[in-house]
Amino acid sequence: MLDFTEALTIGLPLVLTPSVLALVFLGSLIGLVVGALPGLTSAMAVAIMIPLTYTLTPQEAFAILLPAYAAGTFGGSIGAILLNIPGTGAAIMTTLDGYPMRLRGEAGRAIGLAAMSSLFGGLVSALFLVAAAPIAARWAIRLGAHEYFAVALFGLAVIAYISPSILKGLLAGALGLLIACVGNDPAGAYPRFTFDQPAMIGGLSFVPVMIGLFGLAEVFSAVERRMTTQEPVRQEITGVIKSFREAATKLTVLIRSTFLGLLIGVMPASGPTIGSVVSYGMEKRVGRNREALGTGAPEGIVASEAANNSGTGGALVPMIALGIPGDAVTAVLIGALLIHGLQPGPALFIERPDLVSSLFIMFILGNILFVIIGLTGLRFILRLLETPQRYLMPVVLAFCIIGAYAAQNSVFDIGVLIVFGVVGYVMRKIALPVAPMVLGFILGPLVEDNLRRALILDDGNPLGFLTRPLSASLLVAIVVLLLSPLLTRWFLGRKMKLEE
């Protein structure tokens, strides 16, 4: 298993080649641009780019995908500050102080604060990933079927809990598990939910499902919004570099927010968006300048951007070490690993330590490059932000169709793309969260396989899950988590009665 020094060195020969370095630059550029454009999320960018990596080696494929993930998270802050429209969900809290600063004529200052905070949070999270992932993988080797089932189920419970409605989150997660059951039963090879379609015997292809939910659904939503033109940013962007030093003076906020982002990001199914919200809420509660938050306070931008970028490295830890996604983007990245014949988890550290090391190095490079590219290409990004969506969305639609077809050279997959594009659009309309469905689809095989193995080992006795400390603890935590709103309501009601 890798130690810290090996994790940063043995992958260098795979990374220090002209093709890989060029792809790292390209991935950072694409992620930054897509993250900045309203409506085009990081998950959508990564899902659409996966088909373009089929002919590449694994290290070349992830040289595009990992930097795009890191850069897309920062890119969302540019749209949040300049247009009051977060390019990604992780930048939602950045709008609260970033846009008021832009209205005061301080757009450059706000972008500089976001860039420095993102760089700090991203690099700390990358180093945390290098240190923590091998330890987590070493621990995961000791896990059995009972523990893996409980960990995967806990991930689904967390994403349901943090959804606007727990019931809707659970429903979406259950739909994802149901979709994962399509195809031959892994134990008995009996076809399930195939509707006599030979193309569905092997299950639904990951790529068209993801592109449909994240890409095509957004195209449909943009059409409904009539794809309006963004208002031009008629403000000189100055003082960006100068504000780097200002961000450095907010060291307490940087450290606190980075730590919170890491802590939440490493929890299965949480990710950068939740980390950003929690960090901003903490700053609102304990920060020195808490009364000014929401009116254009620098601390608000620092808290949000440090947390969401530190959450990216945190979310990659369970993905690489356990094969359990930390958020929607890492769920898509797991699919990319599987497409390239790699099984995330402890075995990857044993079989391909050089590749794991290269992933760490490329993620670090991506976190450095997005700031360099973002600041040097800021004028170009400003012009892109003003591009009418009626020109952008046809390009996105073309990439969606090409990507879905290229997965298996199958026209059937284009049909899958359309179906899940409609499903994703409808889910948005009825406020049913997409992320739990995606995680359910990704974790479905892991949940089913380990549930069956555990029951076989215990002669069909489900109480066997309660005889193992970790699985029992996680199952109890799941019950408490899902019942916590009811327990809180009951406790508050009882307290009010006692006071009366």
Domain spans of the chain, in order of start: 4-486
**pLDDT at res. 162:** 65
Residue 93 pLDDT: 83
Residue 497 has pLDDT above 70, yes or no: no
Q: How confident is the model at residue 7 (pLDDT cuts 50, 70, 90)?
A: confident
Burial label, 363 (beta-carbon count in 10 A; 0-12, 13-18, 19+)? buried
Q: What is the pTM assigned to this prediction?
A: 0.79
CA–CA dist 241, 255 (Å, integer): 21
Quote the pLDDT of residue 19.
Answer: 92
Phi-psi domain of 296 (left: phi exceeds 0; alpha: psi -120 through 50; beta: other) = left
| pLDDT score for 418 | 92
Q: In the predicted model, is pLDDT for residue 258 greater than 90? A: yes
Which residue in 490, 484, 428 sits closest to 161, CA to CA?
A: 484
Residue 361 has a pLDDT of 94
pLDDT 10s digits, 69-105: 988 888 888 888 887 777 676 787 888 888 888 888 8
pLDDT at 61: 92
Q: With cut-offs at 50, 70 and 90, classify the pLDDT of residue 367.
A: very high
Please compute the mean of the pLDDT values over residues 208-225 and round it to a whole number.
81
Q: Would the pLDDT of 349 be above 80?
A: yes
- Looking at the predicted structure, is the pLDDT value of residue 452 above 90? no
- How far apart CA 404 and CA 50 sit, in angstroms, is 10
Residue 320 reports pLDDT greater than 70: yes
Mean pLDDT of 322-332: 79
Q: What is the pLDDT of residue 231?
A: 55
pLDDT(232) > 60: no
Per-residue model confidence (pLDDT) at position 499:
64
Of 29, 95, 19, 83, whose CA–CA distance to 57 is shortest?
19
121: pLDDT confidence band, cut at 50, 70 and 90?
Answer: very high
SS3 per residue for the chain? CCCHHHHHHCCHHHHCCHHHHHHHHHHHHHHHHHHHCCCCCHHHHHHHHHHHHCCCCHHHHHHHHHHHHHHHHHHHHHHHHHHCCCCCHHHCCHHHHHHHHHHCCCHHHHHHHHHHHHHHHHHHHHHHHHHHHHHHHHHHCCCCHHHHHHHHHHHHHHHHHCCCCHHHHHHHHHHHHHHHCCEECCCCCCEECCCCCHHHCCCCCHHHHHHHHHHHHHHHHHHHCCCCCCCCCCCCCCCCCHHHHHHHCCHHHHHHHHHHHHHHHCCCCCHHHHHHHHHHHHHHHHCCCHHHCCCCCHHHHHHHHHHHHHHHHHHHHHHHHHCCCCCHHHHHHHHHHHHCCCCCCHHHHHHCHHHHHHHHHHHHHHHHHHHHHHHHCHHHHHHHHCCCHHHHHHHHHHHHHHHHHHHHCCHHHHHHHHHHHHHHHHHHHCCCCHHHHHHHHHHHHHHHHHHHHHHHHCCCCHHHHHHCHHHHHHHHHHHHHHHHHHHHHHHHHHHHHHHC
Mean residue pLDDT across the chain: 83
| Confidence tier at 1 by pLDDT (50, 70, 90) | low
